Structure 1
Amino acid sequence: MAVAKVIELTASSKVSVEDAVKTGLKKCAESVKNIQGAWINETKVITSGDGTITEWRVNLRVTFVVE
């Protein structure tokens, strides 16, 4: 029987939501093994004074199998 654990992390990118997710998962994979998937729990943007998006932020829940 497998046991899975879920952790929550926040990642950001100046490019896109997709890039923020990829960056977060890549960094997470440096210390967490057996990542099975993730879902975006929350999305946020940071804007400049004129409303231009300067940064994308995502809150991810990452699932991995415990050995």
Structure 2
Amino acid sequence: MSVVKVIEVMAESDKSWEEATRKGVERASKSVDAISSAWVKDQSVKVDGDKVTKFRVTLKIAFEVK
């Protein structure tokens, strides 16, 4: 049996929610090993005037605890 921990990470991108998700997982992988999954809990955007300038995600990232 393994033990899995879940952390919450926020990330953003100028291009897309998908890129924000990738950035969040890549950054989390610098601090934790054995990431097994990520769940997009929430999505939002930053708007300046009439333009979307940032795509933001809140991720739940699961990894195995050794």
TM range (shorter): over 0.9
Identity of aligned residues (%): 39
Distance 1:33 1:26 in 2: 11
RMSD: 0.5
Matches within 5 A, 1:1-67: 1-50=1-50, 52-67=51-66
Where does structure 1 lack aligned partners over 5 or more consecutive residues? none
Distance 2:60 2:31 in 1: 15
Q: TM-score, normalised by structure 2?
A: 0.97
Deviations 1:7-44 (A, max 9, x none): 00100000100000000100100010000000000000
SS in 2 for 1:23: helix
Deviations 1:39-60 (A, max 9, x none): 000000001112x110000000
User: How many equivalent pairs are there?
Assistant: 66
Distance 1:42 1:22 in 2: 15
Q: TM-score, normalised by structure 1?
A: 0.96
